[in-house]
Chains A and B, each alone.
Chain A
Amino acid sequence: MISMRNDFRIGDQEYRFFKKRDILAYLIFFAVIIFVIFSFFGNNTGDKITVLIGGKKTYEFDKNTKGVYALKNDANDFLMNLVIEENGIYIRDSACPLKICEKHGYLSRNFDAIVCVPQKVIIRFSENEKIVEDLKYDIITK
């Protein structure tokens, strides 16, 4: 008979919603999340906007360089337009059929990121790193 008490039986098996021995596992769960948060966001000043395509840092923009930037891959295929505004960024005109990157909307916080799996693109705020050599700026409007 099932009840909403902590313990219940199904057939010949007895189960509990919570057990004392679970506490360690709950602590590990929250520790992993906190570790990941500090790993990625701990020292991020968010001065730059970094674009990684296929795991390779392809573009880097200053947060203050307002404009619309066409992002292209190594084969020069158009992927999407990155719009940088005064207080944040967003994506428009994505070539991806799912257009999930456009659904991220307007991002402005240092820990925000745009991830597009089909086009292998990550756009994130980053700290002030040295500029990569092969930047491919393609400014449409400014």
Chain B
Amino acid sequence: MQNRLNSRTKSHGSRIVLLAMFVVMSSIIYVIEVYVPVPIPLPGFKWGFSNSIVLIVLLVFGSKEAFSVAVLKSFLGSLLAGRLFSPVFFIGFTGGIAGIITMIVFLKKFRNGVILTSIYGSFINNIFQLTVSYLFFIKSEFVFVYLPYVSVIGFAAAILNVYIAIGGIKWMENLNIR
């Protein structure tokens, strides 16, 4: 029973199809989030619920696949939102890459808990976004004034992402998805 999901995703073809679906799903959530109001009016700041899909891929498939989905999600999502290669894209993209690398290290190397992994993924993502804003756009360290705000909101969103991801994995099991 416990190996059910892995045995179903063993076939190379079905893995590719599933990963493509996850890229599309996360990109759609990414685009929807662009239009969802956030408590902090900061360019590029989103709730980050598309990371729940990346977390599903990290838990079910592995590090390389999760990294690929995170990168493709940023490109496809930004393209669909009309923000590709804009300042907001570069801020979000570098944050997203830093976030997924952090999650991989925390979950696969340090073997930390899933909730801490998600929280640190969000936290490092936010730190990188603010750092890129500081280095290339705002050029004032005062941009880090937002760190406490985005960290607290990211903390809540990261915990929710874990439960969304676990729910998604259960849903995949129940639907017998191959």
In the complex, what's the smallest C-beta–C-beta distance from A53 to chain B, in angstroms? 9
Is the beta-carbon distance between B138 and A113 smaller than 8 angstroms? no
Interface-located stretch among A74-82, A114-122, A129-137: A114-122
Among B106, B116, B143, B166, the residue within 8 A (CB) of A2 is B166
In the complex, what's the smallest C-beta–C-beta distance from A13 to chain B, in angstroms? 8
Known: A33-B152, A117-B87. A12 touches B6 (CB 8 A): yes
Chain A positions within 8 Å of B106 at CB level? 25
Q: Is B140 an interface residue (CB 8 A)?
A: yes
Is the beta-carbon distance between B41 and A104 smaller than 8 angstroms? yes
CA gap between A55 and B139 in the complex, in Å: 4
Name A1-25 residues within 8 Å CB distance of B: 1-2, 4, 8-13, 15-19, 21-22, 25
In the complex, what's the smallest C-beta–C-beta distance from B116 to chain A, in angstroms? 4
Is the beta-carbon distance between A115 and B59 smaller than 8 angstroms? no
Among A2, A26, A54, the residue within 8 A (CB) of B169 is A2
Among A16, A33, A40, A117, the residue within 8 A (CB) of B133 is A117
Known: A115-B138, A117-B138, A124-B145. A100 touches B123 (CB 8 A): no
Chain A positions within 8 Å of B170 at CB level? 2
Chain A positions within 8 Å of B44 at CB level? 117
Closest to B9 in A: A11
Is the beta-carbon distance between B139 and A101 smaller than 8 angstroms? no
Closest to B151 in A: A33
CA gap between A10 and B4 in the complex, in Å: 9
Question: What are 20 A-B contacts with C-beta separation under 8 Å?
Answer: A10-B5, A11-B6, A12-B3, A12-B6, A15-B107, A15-B113, A19-B116, A25-B112, A36-B144, A40-B145, A52-B140, A54-B139, A101-B41, A113-B146, A115-B138, A117-B43, A117-B91, A117-B138, A118-B43, A122-B142
What is the interface of chain A, defined by CB distance below 8 A to chain B? Answer: 1-2, 4, 8-13, 15-19, 21-22, 25-26, 29, 32-33, 36-37, 40, 52, 54-55, 98, 100-101, 103-104, 111, 113, 115-118, 120, 122, 124
What is the interface of chain B, defined by CB distance below 8 A to chain A? Answer: 1-3, 5-6, 41-44, 59-60, 87-88, 91, 106-107, 111-116, 119-120, 123, 133, 137-140, 142-148, 151-152, 155, 162, 166, 169-170, 173
The 6 closest A-B pairs by CB, nearest first: A55-B139, A11-B6, A103-B41, A22-B116, A117-B43, A19-B113
